[in-house]
Amino acid sequence: MSRHGLPVIAVGGGIAGAAFATELARSGCRVILLERTSHPSHKVCGEFLSQDAQTALAALGIDARALGATGIDRFRLVKRERYAEAPLPFAAAGLSRLCLDEALLAAAERAGATVVRGAAVTGIEATGGEVVARTELREWRGAAAGLGTGKHAMRGLRRAPGEMVGFKLHLKASAAAAQTSPAWCNSSSSEAGTLAPALSRAAS
C-alpha cells in the first residue's frame, strides 16, 4: 500500500499511463488514473505493434488480434516510383489507438484502478511528502505520481520544444484496390520525402 493510505496518481491514460496503473493496481496499490479525454479518440501514432509489444500487451491481458488487429508481414520502402520490399522477421500487427487505448483503460479498471475521464492535469507539485495533481475542477492528492502524458507538456515539467510535426490520415480502399493491393497499415516520412510503410496482405 502507498504511504499514509494515499493513492498513486497516474497522469495520462494512454499506453504508458494505463499500463503503469494496471501493474500498480495488480500489486495491491490504490491507483487513480487521470485521463484528459472524456471519450475515445484517435491519436497521431504509427499504430505498429512488434512481436515484443504484443507480448507486453498480453501480459496486461490485452489480445491485439482479438481486438481486430491487422497482421503485418512485410516492409516496403518507397520513394517516388522506386521501392524495395522485404519480409519482416516477426509477426507484427497494426491496431488503432482508438481501440487499443480503450482496451488498456478497461484493463486498468479491471485491475482495480479508478479511471477518471475528462480530467486534464494542468500541474503537479510535491509538497509535505505528498504529490498534488491539479485539474480545472479540483486537486488530487497522492503518495506519488507517474507522468504518462505523451506529447502534452505539463506545467513545471515542460520539455524542450521540438521541430517535428506529425500528421495522420485514415483512408478506405476501394473494392478494386482491396482485391489487388495489400493493406497499408502504417507509414512515416523523412525529411527527404521517403515513405516507409509497413503493410499486410489483403484479406481474402
| pLDDT tens sequence across 21-66 | 999 999 999 999 999 999 998 887 889 999 999 999 999 999 999 9
Burial of 185 (0-12, 13-18, 19+ CB in 10 A): buried
Domain spans of the chain, in order of start: 1-45+96-151, 48-93+165-204
Chain segment 130-143, per-residue pLDDT in tens: 999 999 999 999 99
Q: From CA 61, how far away is CA 66, in angstroms rounded? A: 11
Q: State which fold the 1-45+96-151 domain adopts.
A: FAD/NAD(P)-binding domain (3.50.50)
Q: How does DSSP classify residue 34?
A: E
Q: From CA 118, how far away is CA 136, in angstroms rounded? A: 10
Give the three cell numbers for residue 185: 497499415
Chain segment 137-181, per-residue pLDDT in tens: 999 999 999 998 776 666 556 666 667 666 666 667 777 766 655
Longest dimension (CA), the chain: 65
The Cα angle at residue 177 between residues 172 and 179, in degrees rounded to 5: 115
Q: What is the pLDDT of residue 130?
A: 94
Sheet holding 31-35, edge to edge: 114-117, 31-35, 8-11, 144-147
Note the pTM of the prediction, 2 decimals. Answer: 0.76
Output phi, psi for 186, to 5 deg.
Answer: -155, 135
* Cβ-Cβ contacts under 8 Å for 57 (sequence gap 6 or more): 49, 63, 64, 100
Pairing of strands 183-186, 130-134: unpaired
Give the three cell numbers for residue 119: 480530467
